[in-house]
Amino acid sequence: MRVVNSLVERCFAVVELLANEASTIRLGEIAEKLDLQKSAAHRMLTTLCEIGWVEQEPVTGFYKLSLRLAILGQRFLSATHLTDVCQPVLEELASESAELVRMAVVQGETLTWIAQVQGARNGLKYQPELVARVRLATTANGKAYLSKLNPTDAIRIAVNDGGPNAEKRAITSVEEFMGELELTKKRGWAISIEEAEPGVVAIAAPITLSGGQTVGTVSVAGPSSRLTPDRHKEISSSVVATAGKLGELWPLRERYQNAKQSA
């Protein structure tokens, strides 16, 4: 049974790696990042190609995720009615801030992007890479989420985010990072100034239910030339207010789903 579980975990690790990269990857790189033998990685990739989860470029031989996972993900989100309930609130924040608004949901011990609305009408427009997982230690969304955890768990999760072979910026000072999380928790919002991406500033707040459970995060992000320090107070206030609205609306998705099922 342990061998089967190991194989299943490794297959999902391959799928997750390809989903996070959003580009073709060579076999050797996949094996290296997942600490697998090339032969084992090749066998799993061959199987995943045969059942339609992965595609291999005919010219380069590199691998990429097929659209099957994205299609299933969209079906799942549609079934939960989460975006139906939250989309108008995100659009309102995007219009107000005139920047990119994104929402992520908690899955296990990480965050996954599920929705975004572009509010920038002209000039520079921040268009992030199409990846699923939120990097926790360097993003405003990640820090907003981590600030709601106990310090021990927050540090453990941030340090191990992405696995031992993932390319990530190290936390150079645990004390400094914990101080930032404490400040985030106290004021209710987090900020990332060119930490995740050069030239980009993001402000995020946790989405928390009335019982205290943190279910996601919402953020505003844009070029540092527009999201200057004199706008931080205004933007953070709007983001926190939006997070509050989303927390109130979150349970409605279950009522929406139950109403449609009984109709």
Tokens of 50: 């045969």
**Predicted pLDDT at 9:** 82
**Predicted pLDDT at 244:** 95
**Predicted pLDDT at 125:** 76
Q: Which amino acid is at 31?
A: A
**Predicted pLDDT at 207:** 96
Nearest to 128 by CA among 109, 167, 100: 100
**Predicted pLDDT at 62:** 93
**Predicted pLDDT at 128:** 76
Which segments of the chain have a pLDDT < 50?
1-5, 163-168, 259, 261
Q: Read out DSSP for 2-67?
A: HHHHHHHHHHHHHHHHHHHH-S-B-HHHHHHHTT--HHHHHHHHHHHHHTTSEEE-TTT--EEE-T
